[in-house]
Amino acid sequence: MKVKKVFKSLIIAFALLVSAVGTVGIASPQKAEAFSIWKHKSGSFSNYVETKTYSEDYNKKIKRYHLIEASVKSTSKGKGTYKFYIQKKSKGKGSWKTIKTFDAKKNGTTRFSSPWLNNGDTYRFKLVNKGSKKTVKYNISWAPFAS
Protein backbone atom coordinates (compact mmCIF):
# COMPACT_ATOMS: atom_id res chain seq x y z
CA MET A 1 0.00 0.00 0.00
CA LYS A 2 2.80 2.40 0.91
CA VAL A 3 4.68 1.54 -2.31
CA LYS A 4 1.66 2.57 -4.40
CA LYS A 5 1.53 6.01 -2.69
CA VAL A 6 5.25 6.56 -3.26
CA PHE A 7 4.93 5.46 -6.90
CA LYS A 8 1.96 7.83 -7.47
CA SER A 9 3.90 10.68 -5.86
CA LEU A 10 6.88 10.03 -8.15
CA ILE A 11 4.63 10.04 -11.23
CA ILE A 12 3.01 13.33 -10.17
CA ALA A 13 6.41 14.88 -9.43
CA PHE A 14 7.74 13.76 -12.82
CA ALA A 15 4.68 15.21 -14.60
CA LEU A 16 5.12 18.53 -12.78
CA LEU A 17 8.81 18.61 -13.66
CA VAL A 18 8.12 17.98 -17.36
CA SER A 19 5.42 20.68 -17.47
CA ALA A 20 7.72 23.15 -15.66
CA VAL A 21 10.50 22.53 -18.18
CA GLY A 22 8.06 23.18 -21.02
CA THR A 23 6.90 26.49 -19.55
CA VAL A 24 10.41 27.91 -19.19
CA GLY A 25 11.19 27.10 -22.80
CA ILE A 26 13.64 24.22 -22.58
CA ALA A 27 11.23 21.85 -24.30
CA SER A 28 9.65 24.48 -26.58
CA PRO A 29 10.52 24.92 -30.27
CA GLN A 30 13.64 26.87 -31.19
CA LYS A 31 11.93 28.92 -33.91
CA ALA A 32 9.48 31.60 -32.82
CA GLU A 33 6.45 31.48 -35.10
CA ALA A 34 4.54 34.49 -33.83
CA PHE A 35 4.81 37.27 -31.28
CA SER A 36 2.82 40.22 -29.97
CA ILE A 37 3.28 43.36 -27.89
CA TRP A 38 0.42 45.14 -26.09
CA LYS A 39 -0.23 48.79 -26.99
CA HIS A 40 -2.47 51.39 -25.37
CA LYS A 41 -3.91 54.78 -26.32
CA SER A 42 -6.22 56.94 -24.24
CA GLY A 43 -7.72 60.41 -24.43
CA SER A 44 -10.99 62.23 -24.93
CA PHE A 45 -12.91 63.92 -27.73
CA SER A 46 -16.18 65.75 -28.39
CA ASN A 47 -16.47 65.74 -32.19
CA TYR A 48 -13.78 63.39 -33.55
CA VAL A 49 -10.17 62.36 -32.97
CA GLU A 50 -7.53 60.68 -35.10
CA THR A 51 -4.86 58.84 -33.17
CA LYS A 52 -1.21 59.00 -34.02
CA THR A 53 0.09 56.68 -36.72
CA TYR A 54 1.33 53.23 -35.72
CA SER A 55 3.45 50.86 -37.78
CA GLU A 56 4.81 47.40 -37.24
CA ASP A 57 8.08 46.61 -39.00
CA TYR A 58 8.93 42.95 -38.67
CA ASN A 59 11.74 41.04 -40.35
CA LYS A 60 11.35 40.01 -43.99
CA LYS A 61 10.02 36.54 -43.08
CA ILE A 62 6.89 38.09 -41.56
CA LYS A 63 4.49 39.04 -44.35
CA ARG A 64 1.44 40.27 -42.45
CA TYR A 65 -0.07 41.06 -39.07
CA HIS A 66 -3.37 42.05 -37.52
CA LEU A 67 -4.67 43.55 -34.30
CA ILE A 68 -6.06 41.03 -31.83
CA GLU A 69 -7.53 41.06 -28.33
CA ALA A 70 -8.39 44.68 -29.00
CA SER A 71 -10.93 46.70 -27.05
CA VAL A 72 -12.02 50.27 -26.52
CA LYS A 73 -13.40 51.25 -23.13
CA SER A 74 -15.36 54.49 -23.13
CA THR A 75 -17.15 56.68 -20.61
CA SER A 76 -19.39 59.66 -21.37
CA LYS A 77 -22.34 61.60 -20.04
CA GLY A 78 -23.93 60.97 -23.43
CA LYS A 79 -25.70 57.76 -24.37
CA GLY A 80 -25.49 55.54 -27.40
CA THR A 81 -22.55 54.80 -29.69
CA TYR A 82 -19.94 56.50 -31.81
CA LYS A 83 -18.20 55.41 -35.02
CA PHE A 84 -14.81 53.73 -34.70
CA TYR A 85 -12.68 53.41 -37.84
CA ILE A 86 -9.47 51.46 -38.36
CA GLN A 87 -7.56 53.08 -41.22
CA LYS A 88 -4.35 52.09 -43.00
CA LYS A 89 -1.79 53.39 -45.47
CA SER A 90 0.07 50.85 -47.58
CA LYS A 91 3.77 51.09 -46.79
CA GLY A 92 3.03 54.49 -45.17
CA LYS A 93 2.26 56.13 -48.53
CA GLY A 94 -0.89 57.44 -50.17
CA SER A 95 -4.13 58.39 -48.47
CA TRP A 96 -5.83 56.75 -45.51
CA LYS A 97 -8.13 53.86 -46.37
CA THR A 98 -10.77 52.65 -43.90
CA ILE A 99 -10.43 48.89 -43.47
CA LYS A 100 -12.95 48.35 -40.67
CA THR A 101 -15.84 50.36 -39.22
CA PHE A 102 -17.97 49.57 -36.18
CA ASP A 103 -20.06 51.26 -33.51
CA ALA A 104 -18.38 51.60 -30.12
CA LYS A 105 -20.37 52.06 -26.92
CA LYS A 106 -20.11 55.49 -25.31
CA ASN A 107 -20.38 53.81 -21.92
CA GLY A 108 -18.81 50.38 -21.78
CA THR A 109 -16.30 48.18 -23.54
CA THR A 110 -16.38 47.21 -27.20
CA ARG A 111 -14.11 44.43 -28.44
CA PHE A 112 -12.75 44.31 -31.98
CA SER A 113 -10.07 42.90 -34.27
CA SER A 114 -8.66 44.11 -37.55
CA PRO A 115 -8.29 42.59 -40.98
CA TRP A 116 -4.79 41.47 -41.95
CA LEU A 117 -2.26 44.24 -42.67
CA ASN A 118 0.91 43.79 -44.72
CA ASN A 119 4.30 44.15 -43.05
CA GLY A 120 5.25 47.84 -43.22
CA ASP A 121 1.67 49.18 -43.44
CA THR A 122 0.81 52.02 -41.07
CA TYR A 123 -2.50 52.25 -39.26
CA ARG A 124 -4.46 54.60 -37.03
CA PHE A 125 -7.81 54.79 -35.28
CA LYS A 126 -10.40 57.45 -36.00
CA LEU A 127 -13.25 57.99 -33.52
CA VAL A 128 -16.25 60.10 -34.59
CA ASN A 129 -19.02 61.25 -32.25
CA LYS A 130 -22.06 61.55 -34.52
CA GLY A 131 -24.68 61.95 -31.80
CA SER A 132 -24.64 64.45 -28.96
CA LYS A 133 -21.29 66.19 -28.71
CA LYS A 134 -20.76 65.36 -25.04
CA THR A 135 -17.14 64.48 -24.29
CA VAL A 136 -16.20 60.82 -24.60
CA LYS A 137 -13.19 59.49 -22.69
CA TYR A 138 -11.64 56.43 -24.29
CA ASN A 139 -8.95 53.85 -23.61
CA ILE A 140 -7.90 51.60 -26.50
CA SER A 141 -5.74 48.52 -26.00
CA TRP A 142 -4.61 46.07 -28.65
CA ALA A 143 -1.88 43.62 -29.59
CA PRO A 144 -0.40 43.49 -33.08
CA PHE A 145 -0.01 39.79 -33.87
CA ALA A 146 2.36 38.69 -36.63
CA SER A 147 2.59 35.25 -38.16
Tens digit of pLDDT for each residue in 27-51? 444 444 455 588 999 999 999 999 9
- Assess contact for 57 and 144: CB atoms under 8 A: no
The confidence score (pLDDT) of residue 80 equals: 93
∠ CA 74-92-119, rounded to 5°: 85
Global pTM reads: 0.73
What is the distance between the alpha carbons of residues 123 and 121, in angstroms, rounded to a whole number?
7
What residues in the chain have per-residue pLDDT under 70?
1-36
The confidence score (pLDDT) of residue 57 equals: 78
For residue 125, the one-letter residue type is F
